[in-house]
Chains A and B, each alone.
Chain A
Amino acid sequence: MTTLREDLLPVFDDARTLIDDLGLRTSSVTIRVVTWTGGAEGPEVRTGTPTVADLVLSPRPRVRFADSGTGLVVDKITPTGPGGIGYTPAQLNPAPTLQPGQEVYYVVDGPEGEHWYAAATIDYRRNFGYTLHLTGLTRPVPY
């Protein structure tokens, strides 16, 4: 027997897909894992040849500036649910399972261009939406 939450997750996902289709989400969010071949000491980040694996969040989540003005809040990410919708915590935060020679960062492509971010915190506590708090690795002007 499914729970009310599991029954409602597809509804939330469909609504977010509709908002995305209407063009109301102007920023795309990609979780990028880069695997480096490494050097004489073995696999090592930023050494050797990189292989990129991207996970583009779909439907597009909502992206807002953090209250501090120097990071982003990415929310309205559907948790994993029936029918293969949504994302698991492990997908949103690959850091704990990275292998030697791997790095992860978040690519947000929005009105100010493409910039890279690292995850400061990830909130999994809400029933129908996960939230990423991102801190900038590249800093768009003016801040």
Chain B
Amino acid sequence: MPLDASPVGPLQIPVDGGGYLSTLGDPVALALLDYLGFWLKDSLDGQLSQLPGTSADACPAGNRYAFNPDTYFVRNTFPALYVWWDGKSTRQYHTLLFERRERTMHALYVYEELVAPSGIRARAGLPAAVDAIFAKASERGRHPGFGLGAAPPGTPLWQSLGLLKFDYDGGQAGFIAKIPNTSPVPGGPPEGSIVRGYPALRGTFTVWERIDPATTQDPQDLAGDVLVNIATNESGDLDNSVDVMDRYAPAPDGSDALGE
């Protein structure tokens, strides 16, 4: 049966069966986790190692999650990086040959719990630094020491993923704190104005994924040899014919040239 196999961004359609119990993930989210996590570690590990008391690893590989952490992040370990799609997409015209799909990806970086106001000065610039790192990672689109999957280091992310665009739209910093049982806000009267929370930065990225045109599959879609039957009859009686010969008309093998 002829197939129409082609990718949308990095996602091959039909989805490639990775084997029993293989994960069906969002390849853009997974790739951004790897890419942004690399940038965070490369940019912050040196300084964080000079601030003992909290993690010296800015983004441990085991703390990267491809889902929206709303309402249940407290069960994960920190520092953590979350990347997810907000659920909305737009199909847009790009060229005569192919169109594109636009999506907004969200990235949330959450550091370890700090105590405010007595413990936030030394790391007060962390959300701003993460925001700058996201902006630089987007602007560069690559890192000399990073290659997605088996790609050589320095391979642009857009090239590995088949993206037309990968832009950082901006971020919003915050201090994620649990609302206590006895106060409508953190640090309320029973807590004595002491707040424990997690410095965080939430950023958004706009990605354009190319919707590739159809590609042929071998052997389903390629031309094959055709059986030709030559028969004769008398007076045009099609129901009374005699076979003369059967031959195969060969399919093109790629060696034919126009004009020959």
Bound CA span A42–B122, Å: 9
B213 interfacial by beta-carbon distance below 8 Å: no
B196 interfacial by beta-carbon distance below 8 Å: yes
Bound CA span A98–B192, Å: 11
Bound CA span A118–B180, Å: 10
Bound CA span A50–B119, Å: 13
Looking at chain B's contact residues, the main secondary structure is loop
B244 interfacial by beta-carbon distance below 8 Å: no
Residue of A nearest to B115 (CB): A45
Residues of B with C-beta under 8 A to A76: none
CB distance from B5 to the nearest CB of A (A): 45
Q: For B123, B181, B182, which residue has the most chain A Cβ atoms within 10 angstroms? A: B181
* B192 and A70 within 8 A (CB): no
A103 interfacial by beta-carbon distance below 8 Å: yes
Residues of A with C-beta under 8 A to B52: 47-49
Bound CA span A128–B108, Å: 49
Residues of B with C-beta under 8 A to A137: 113, 196
CB distance from A65 to the nearest CB of B (A): 12
Bound CA span A137–B121, Å: 22
Bound CA span A36–B191, Å: 21
B224 interfacial by beta-carbon distance below 8 Å: no
B214 interfacial by beta-carbon distance below 8 Å: no
B23 interfacial by beta-carbon distance below 8 Å: no
* A47 and B196 within 8 A (CB): no
Bound CA span A39–B181, Å: 33
A139 interfacial by beta-carbon distance below 8 Å: yes
* A120 and B119 within 8 A (CB): no
CB distance from A142 to the nearest CB of B (A): 11
B151 interfacial by beta-carbon distance below 8 Å: no
Bound CA span A40–B50, Å: 11
B54 interfacial by beta-carbon distance below 8 Å: yes
Known: A95-B192, A95-B194, A139-B74. A39 touches B180 (CB 8 A): no
A135 interfacial by beta-carbon distance below 8 Å: yes
A101 interfacial by beta-carbon distance below 8 Å: yes
* B115 and A103 within 8 A (CB): yes
A27 interfacial by beta-carbon distance below 8 Å: no
A46 interfacial by beta-carbon distance below 8 Å: yes
Residues of B with C-beta under 8 A to A38: 122
Residues of A with C-beta under 8 A to B54: 46-47
A103 interface neighbour in B112, B119, B121, B182, Cβ under 8 Å = B119
Jot down 7 A-B pairs with beta carbons below 8 A, ordered by A. A47-B123, A48-B53, A95-B194, A120-B191, A121-B182, A133-B190, A135-B182
18 new A-B contacts at CB < 8 Å, known A71-B181, A135-B181:
A39-B51, A44-B119, A44-B121, A45-B115, A45-B118, A46-B53, A50-B53, A101-B118, A103-B118, A118-B191, A120-B180, A120-B181, A120-B183, A120-B191, A121-B182, A137-B113, A139-B74, A139-B75
Residues of B within 8 A of A (CB): 51-54, 74-75, 112-115, 118-119, 121-123, 180-183, 190-192, 194, 196
Q: Would you list the 8 A-B pairs with minimal beta carbon distance, nearest first?
A: A45-B119, A46-B53, A45-B115, A120-B182, A47-B122, A47-B53, A39-B122, A41-B121
